[in-house]
Amino acid sequence: MTKNFKLLLEEAHQLGLATDVIYPEKEVVKISDASRKIIVKEVFSFAANPSSASAVLAKNKEITYRLWERENIPFPRSRYFRNSASFPKNIADFNLKFPVVFKKSNGKKSIGIHTNIISFQELAKIVKNSDNSFIIQEMVFGKEYRMLVYAGRLLGALELVPPQIIGTGVDTIATLIQKKNDDLQEKILINEKVIQTLKRNALSLDDVPAKESCILLQENSCLAEGGSSIDCTDIVHKDILRLAQKASQALNMKLAGIDLICEDISVAPDKQKVSFLETNSFPSLSIHYDPTVGKPRRVIKDILEDIFDKKSA
């Protein structure tokens, strides 16, 4: 049973709602009270208008960016390619500045993402192995955040911190990863992304970092691969929230997990560079229950209370 589904059942029971697990293997449940019922598969997905194609639109980054452009939502300069054959043969026709990020058009959970690509030759090798459509995007720098917006309300916000280790002056990077994994539910994976991130910083798994030095293991956050999170719900600047609300409304989404990068989510967007990255129509809700640092947010409870017209205690 996934953590999202377990929390969904627990919150429904605490609100006095009936649950009927219809298909345990696929985590499908009917939740009901005396007057209404809903059927949920693991996590929620809501459109502001049920007849819209919001979930499909949100998965396609090219469509997302076109809709955001009309609403003046800031996002990194990007180019869409139907397949590897449509990719330019030389840098003169590329029209983006390095470093760049490679993303599958319909990718999710950081799968198929390559970050900090610094040359056209490196990018061409990645593109060559891509069978489907993809986005190339100028890389933006800062802290990565996830905002959960439901019906225009901010239910939770997290700063997402990439996997990293702290040097002891004695242990190798490989040993430090092993020791940190002893305390993590979601383990740090020693994969190609980790190897390449270390290589870009002139490091390898056999190196011994200085005491108290922070070693980044991936350039993008990934909670499923040893990343961490910091709750920042109470400090989100009102104008950044307004942009997030517009970003979800542009896709007609009632529930959206919105990813963005900026230096400080508590600072007004006109005082810093803010770049929205994507919206998730099936956002993980469990990540808000167990931040590495900060206050847990019972976001599933908030959603169920709204659906079933139950007031918070």
Q: For 42-71, what is each residue's pLDDT tens digit?
A: 788 765 665 556 666 777 788 898 999 999
Give the distance between the most distant pair of CA atoms in the chain: 65
In terms of Cα–Cα distance, which of 283, 278, 280 is closest to 140? 278
Handedness of CA 224, 198, 220, 124 (dihedral sign): negative
Cβ pair 142, 190 in contact under 8 A: no
Position 63: which residue type?
I
Residues in the chain: 313
How, if at all, do strands 78-81 and 134-138 pair?
antiparallel
Structure confidence at residue 104 as a pLDDT band (50, 70, 90): confident
pLDDT of residue 49: 60
Task: Please tell me the least confidently modeled range out of 56-70, 147-161, 184-198, 258-272.
Answer: 56-70
- Sequence spans of domains, the chain: 77-139, 163-218
Give me the percent of the chain exceeding a pLDDT of 90.
70
Enumerate residues 6+ apart whose C-beta is below 8 A from 206: 172, 173, 174
CATH label, 77-139, candidates 3.40.50.2300, 3.40.50.2020, 3.10.580.10, 3.30.1490.20: 3.30.1490.20
Reported as a single tens digit per residue, the pLDDT across 128-153 is 878 788 999 999 999 999 999 999 99
pLDDT of residue 313: 46
pLDDT of residue 267: 98
Does residue 288 carry a pLDDT above 70?
yes
Go through 233-267 and write b for each residue having 16 or more CB atoms within 10 A of its CB, e for each that does not: beebbeebbebbbebbbbbbbbbbbbbbbbebbee
Average pLDDT across the chain, whole number = 90
Q: Quick one: average pLDDT of 263-290?
A: 95
Reported as a single tens digit per residue, the pLDDT across 153-176 is 999 999 999 999 999 999 999 999
Cβ pair 265, 236 in contact under 8 A: yes
Position 67: which residue type?
L
Structure confidence at residue 108 as a pLDDT band (50, 70, 90): low
Task: Report the predicted TM-score, pTM, of the whole model to 2 decimal places.
Answer: 0.87
